[in-house]
Structure 1
Amino acid sequence: MEFILIASAHFLALLSPGPDFFLIMQTALRMPMRYALSVCAGIAAANGLYLTIAVLGLEAVRNMHLLMTVLKYLGSGYLIYIGYLLLRAPKRPLTQNEKQGFLRQQSFIRQFSLGFASACLNPKNAIFYLSLFTVMVSAETPLAIRTLYGLWMAGIVFTWDMGVAMLIGNRRSKNYLEKWIFGLEKISGLMLSLFGILLCLD
């Protein structure tokens, strides 16, 4: 029953589009699928980091106000910067082969880092996982079981994000969305900037 409760709460949180969704969308539309999957792996790794902290019962991290404040402002600046890059990007066809620029560099490490930073610099991820394990996981639950919970959730994050990337980034979807790509890019930039501003004001 405990597993069903935390798995359900976690999945419901995944259904709500956040900064990671818009980062995955623009990568899947503009770059080969392997780089979108690198972004997904980076996001899952950052979630795994916070899950490790939660699994080990390090609730004290949530009370480190200086750390949370630094994360908040770094994350806010990062999201606003990514949003700014998308907002100022010129109109160009999907067939244009882009290999340069902060967002478009065809490097597994770069794209992994973009995804990792997006999820890691969002203090709400840390708060969510710490709250989830504090409220829904019994103190009597063995470490091995809590570890399995964490592995499950990190795996679900990667699987879900990978599914989103494959749905958006396949050739049929790209052909369908091509005439709206400029608008979608601007919406992504606007949403990422908005997330950054709201994070800063929170």
Structure 2
Amino acid sequence: MSPAATLGTVLLAYLPAAVSPGPNFVLIAHTAATRTRRAAVAVALGVVVAGGLLAAVAVFGLGGVLARTPWLATALRVGCGGYLTWLGVRLWWRARAPEDLVEPPDGAATTPATGSPRPGRFFRRGVLSNLTNPKAAAFFGSVLTATLPPAEPTAVKAAAVALIVAASAAWHLSVALLFSAPGTQRWYARAKPVLNRVVGTILVVLGIALAVTP
């Protein structure tokens, strides 16, 4: 198979996994609707960077470390599931709180001029979301390695990672921009208590499923 055909196959395999709703979509959309466009873009960039890291790990064979150390894979899975569950419970608990109380600013995590959380805080949240995303782990650990054989040249592997990062950035940044539009934010403000509980429930279910499923 030619390099172009191989990269086309990788892209076709990745796009459905990227655009199907999951924890990343929920987190970006929720941040965009409740915070600022800058915060949503920071979350989206965190998701993109984590996805690039996962892709590189899978493509260059470093994922074998987890295969050789089952205890580490189990600890990572349980820890990630616990993180998602915590996010979901937090949304439920504060579903009716005014938005400026949902994430109270603190000296270490806010910008001095505005008192709003720094983008780095949201960027880290995006990174954690993708690293804890079971859908991402399944794709990069199985589908990607199947569509990009180990015998492919290093340049093709690097191009595949770059292609995945570009496609991920295009999609997740589009979600951030769409849901941070003023009209979307006004609609969310009216439906906030119900939507926060729906999103929280989704995150709790995903977290528990990740933690208890081998």
Distance 1:28 1:146, change over 3 A: same
Say which of 61, 64, 71 aligns to 1:60. Answer: 64
- The answer to whether the aligner puts 1:194 opposite 2:198 as a matched pair is no
- The answer to whether the aligner puts 1:77 opposite 2:88 as a matched pair is no
Distance 1:97 1:34, change over 3 A: farther
Task: Provide the C-alpha distance between the structure 1 equivalents of 2:13 and 2:95, rounded to a whole number of angstroms.
Answer: 40
Task: Provide the C-alpha distance between the structure 2 equivalents of 1:37 and 1:21, rounded to a whole number of angstroms.
Answer: 12
SS state at 2:149 partner: coil
- The answer to whether the aligner puts 1:175 opposite 2:202 as a matched pair is no
TM-score, with normalisation over the residues of structure 1?
0.89
Task: Provide the C-alpha distance between the structure 2 equivalents of 1:179 and 1:133, rounded to a whole number of angstroms.
Answer: 41
Return the offset for 1:176. Answer: 3.0
- Contact map agreement 2:95 2:194 (CA 8 A) in 1: no
- Contact map agreement 1:41 1:112 (CA 8 A) in 2: yes
Return the offset for 1:178. Answer: 2.8
Output aligned runs, 1:48-197, within 5 Å.
48-63=52-67, 64-92=69-97, 100=104, 106-122=117-133, 124-197=135-208
- Post-superposition CA distance 1:126-151 (Å, at most 9, x none): 34213233211133321111111111
Unmatched segments (≥5 aa) in structure 1: none
Q: Percent of pairs identical after alignment?
A: 27
Task: Provide the C-alpha distance between the structure 1 equivalents of 2:102 and 2:138, rounded to a whole number of angstroms.
Answer: 37
Task: Provide the C-alpha distance between the structure 2 equivalents of 1:52 and 1:196, rounded to a whole number of angstroms.
Answer: 25
Task: Provide the C-alpha distance between the structure 1 equivalents of 2:13 and 2:73, rounded to a whole number of angstroms.
Answer: 23
Would you identify which runs of 4 or more consecutive aligned residues in structure 1 move more than 3 Å? 96-99, 101-105
72-81 or 168-177: bigger deviation: 168-177
Return the offset for 1:165. Answer: 1.4
| Residue type of the alignment partner of 1:75 | C
| Residue type of the alignment partner of 1:65 | P
Unmatched segments (≥5 aa) in structure 2: 111-115
- Post-superposition CA distance 1:38-57 (Å, at most 9, x none): 11111111111111112212
Match of 1:16 in 2: 20
Return the offset for 1:62. Answer: 4.4
Count the aligned residue pairs.
201
User: In angstroms, what is the RMSD of aligned CA positions?
Assistant: 2.4
79-88 or 40-49: bigger deviation: 40-49
